[in-house]
Amino acid sequence: MVLCWAFGCRKTVLDNTQNTGRDYFPLTRGSWWLYQVDTIFYNEFSGDTVLGSAELLERADTLIITDNGLTAMRLERYSRPLGATAWGAPRIWWATLTDRHALKSEENNIYAKLAFPLTPNASWNGNVYNIFPEQRYTVKSIDNPYSGPFLNFDSVCTVQQLFYEDLLQYRRYEEIFSRRVGLVWKLEMDVAGSTQPADIGKYILDRIKGGVVRKYALKDYSIEP
């Protein structure tokens, strides 16, 4: 992706003071968010369950112009094993606000994280800006308090990106955003259930045989004015 540096003295992508939900997605240069990322990997072949924890630091670096012609915030994302002191080399993503959507480019795939105005039960295609099949994102709740593992927030919006369940598979993807903070919680869950005779009749989450569960929880942050 070809990027051009721009707007050297400006700090924010777009005015987000309007009461449309934009303040759930603050993008001000110098802001940062620190997450703990906990992963459970279920090895279908060995039967082992592997636990892992890491930290992820996302920093709003500077404004850029993307090759799509969008004014966006360059995001530097650093990771390290939980308990380590040195960060690895950053991966570069970007995010921006348009009149209609909060967009985030993740590994060069653009997702519509929020849709404006943000209202209860609102639904939109999160893949409208990429090549993937349509995926309906839905606001499950808005302006509710939320108690996280590390921090509490008085006004959050929960967006269900995907939910699918049958006898063989359970998939759930969800993000929670706080006003004036941004993303505070993220769940990626994609697991398969055992079909062994001894497991028949059990709920699928009580007979997981393979897959991944990954949770991101905000543990510290700083939002620049």
Residue 125's CB is within 10 A of a number of other CB atoms, namely: 15
Query: Reduced to 3 states, what is the DSSP secondary structure of residue 22?
Result: helix
pLDDT digits (tens, 9 = 90+) for 124-136: 999 999 999 999 9
Residue for token digits 């497991």?
199
Could you tell me the pTM of the whole model? 0.92
CA proximity to 72, closest of 51, 42, 102, 52: 102
pLDDT digits (tens, 9 = 90+) for 42-96: 999 999 999 999 999 999 999 999 988 999 999 999 999 999 999 999 999 999 9
Write the CA distances from 170 to 97, 136, 162, 203, 216, integer angstroms.
Answer: 32, 17, 10, 10, 19
Please say whether the beta carbons of 99 and 82 come within 8 A. no
What lies within 8 Å, CB to CB, of 211 at 6+ separation is 42, 44, 189, 190, 191, 192
Residue for token digits 């769940």?
187
CA proximity to 10, closest of 73, 58, 67: 73
User: What's the CATH number where 103 sits?
Assistant: 2.40.360
Specify the number of domains making up the chain.
1
Residue 105 belongs to what domain range? 4-14+23-222
pLDDT at 74: 98
- Cα radius of gyration (the chain): 19
